[in-house]
A and B are shown apart, each in its own frame.
Chain A
Amino acid sequence: MRIEINRDKCSGCEECISSCPFEAIVMHEGKALINELCQICKMCITVCPEGAITEIDEGEEQKTVQEGKGVWVFAEQREGKVASIAFELLGAGRRLADELKVELSALLFGSSRLEAENLVKWGADKVYFCDNPIFEKFNDEPHAQLLSDLITRYRPEIVIAGATPIGRSFLPRVAARLRTGLTADCTSLAIDSETGNLLQIRPAFGGNIMATILCPDCRPQMATVRPRVMKKGEYREDRKGEIITVNADNLISRTRVIESVKDVCEIAVNLHEVDIIVSGGRGLGEPKGFKLLEELAGLLGGAVGASRAAVDSGWIQYRHQVGQTGKTVCPKLYIACGISGAVQHLVGMQSSDTIIAINKNPDAPIFNVASFGVVGDVYEIIPLLIKRLKESRETGNP
């Protein structure tokens, strides 16, 4: 299979050149010409306004996977600080790279050289680091452009990023541009020992089923990975690696971040980042029940979650909502207070390590996913638990 340009039809408009992700088309005597970098991605065929580009099937159809080598991890940062998902990705990436016997590289756009060096200590053999000020705030286009360019140049076989608001927003642009697959929100990654393909396992249909996804014929194989599922890499102060400074000019962004507004809340609402979530539902009966949960969450160093019923009742803001139309979380401990456990809520929290459920109704479905179930009154159990936690703290005797 190859791509051919009909020189008589070609008008020399150069549309195909800008569409080509592989820099495989050049201008020659006013006409487009395809060179040996062509990956037969067929992007040019779609954009050519003259219909001058066609695919020639030479009969000996043979599916060849585009070559690629190495595992890449996108290390996202906010205000210069690398997010904890990056260390989890390095843990997962290290495992994949060792199995494939290839290098593990991290990509850091924005932030500082110090943070880049830190990524080496967390397991990266190489760090591609770009300190262009355009990355100070998150905008999709420059991220997509630089990552696509680097992938085209260095051809990794696997690229993973966090399934965070950042990773889930710009990675799709990269996949679209490079004509490759992207699997969202994976909870497990492995290498198929026979083919060497990446097995990408993810929940689908609201967590009712799990699916294994493959990207057999395109490279790189790309996935976003759910935060707090993979084990962090091993931090070693003495690990050595290479920092490669990437110069990126001509990056543009047509979106502009005017301001970043942090949640002003005494207790964290970043449900993806905390180990413990204390969550409340309609069973609390009134908004002030959340004051109690906040107090418990504060004592445990956790955050407050909520069911949709509680959010819809106006007792707490949407950003606390856990479940299908809210956030999917998997903390070490999830304490469900007065939550009956509709499927839509369960799919958002059932992969938590430990679940404690407190509900008056012994038949509440929440008990089906609970590690510990308490049939009882939240207003009896939680204040007592708070009291005992405070006492043990005061006596210094945990």
Chain B
Amino acid sequence: MIPQEFEYTVPATLQEALTLVADGERKILAGGMSLIPLMKLRLAAPSEVVDIARVPGLGGIEESGGVVRIGATTTHHAVESSPIILAKCPLLAECASHIGDIQVRNVGTMGGSAAHADPAADYPAALLALDAKFRLVSATSDRVVEAADFFVDAFTTALEPGELIVEIQVPVEEASEGPRYEKVAHPASGFAVIGVAARIKKSGDRITMARIGVTGMGPRAFRAREAERLLESGSDVAAAIATVGNGEEVNSDLYAAGDYRRHLARVYAGRAVTTALSRAS
């Protein structure tokens, strides 16, 4: 549990941080809940680490124009307890409350988790269901990427060398919609064996919008678009969720084999949708 020697730098400004990471050689530390264990196990051995967790201006939560902007270094605990997020993006707050344990949520950051892109992380399910966007900035560029394009594969994102996530932009949920995050936590790691984030809008008994984000099942989180379409076109929940995971790659490990994982994704999608529906007004 002893990492290799490394240089550790704490930049004072975002500009300095961007300069430091510009050549893509330095590893970015933003909480360290994944990176530090990997380094201690010597599965990662970066020679230089840039700690952006305390860079001014990278944290904070604000809402304007129907979008909640969450600074990349905002901790999971801040996300789950922020009055703005609880009021405007309750699905995200609920999702954040399932991450790890209280110690992890107090130190780990939203940007750090997203950039790591662990296939069993909780956030991607909610961020996909919320149509969130990532603002990525480098010394020479500033762009916005849809969550669906951001999560590319296991531990792989759309981040280019030299880029930092500076904020996550989450459209405000409508007050009438029903949110729900349902999760099977791995009993050892706490990561999602399956995590399903659902948003439902309804008009009378008719579902007018369904968003289902699934994490943990495969190498990357995905939207269950067929199930969403079926729900929006009047199918019952059972028929809709039976399509969840169709055509998606599925992971298999000691705790849950592929067929069981896909089954869990459907069961938990059903539970998430049902609760979301009951919460919608």
**A, B in one complex:** no
Residues of B at the A interface (CB closer than 8 Å) are none
